[in-house]
Amino acid sequence: MFINERETRTERLLEVANKMMTAARTAPKGKGFDIIEVAMITGDDIQKVSDAMLVYSEKTELKFVMRDAENILQAEAIVLIGTRSQIHNLNCGYCGFSTCAEKLEFNDVPCAINTVDVGIAIGSACSVAADERVDSRIMFSVGRVVQEMNLMPGCSSIYGIPISCSSKSPFFDRISKTPIVDPTK
């Protein structure tokens, strides 16, 4: 039997993405509350997110989102990690409010512990990608647009981790193919 690496690339990358999701799920969480949500997008759904990112870039005038929208089209899969909101009743003040009760008046402000949990889960997932020698990059832009699209209902602090397997990582030394329009002209 002769198997060319290119013929099994997608299958292998999906296996890595599944391992990344497992690592995110089993990562330590503040006070043991498992409020992390983990998902994966592939195929046509990557194109849909890319298209939505282009719209978001135009709406917000954040040009790096346009670059990232083009960039994720080179990914075989994107692992998404976010959190549902839950206070921990620690009154730690890390969110900017003195008490958790005070924070509840502003429900759209994420609990800092929830956000830390997302970061730990991202680190665990990316360590799997590194161990498997798969190219990856943590992208705020992907997660922000996924949140806008409501693909992970009830979640905030969402980040996307596109993965690829190529001779050179497509996620570094990136140059946008779309010219930046000078708003003064």
Q: Confirm if 162 and 139 have CB atoms less than 8 A apart.
A: yes
Taken in order of first residue, the domains within the chain and their CATH numbers are 31-164 (3.40.109.10)
For helices 112-131 and 5-26, angle between their N-to-C axes, nearest 10 degrees? 150
pLDDT band at 185 (very low <50, low <70, confident <90, very high): low
Residue 46 CB-half CA count within 13 A: 20
pTM for the complete prediction? 0.88
pLDDT at residue 175, rounded to an integer: 65
Q: How far is CA 96 from CA 82, 104, 111, 112, in A?
A: 21, 12, 9, 9
Closest CA to 109 of 91, 85, 89: 85
Distance of CA 96 to the CA centre of its chain: 24
Q: What is the mean pLDDT of the chain?
A: 90
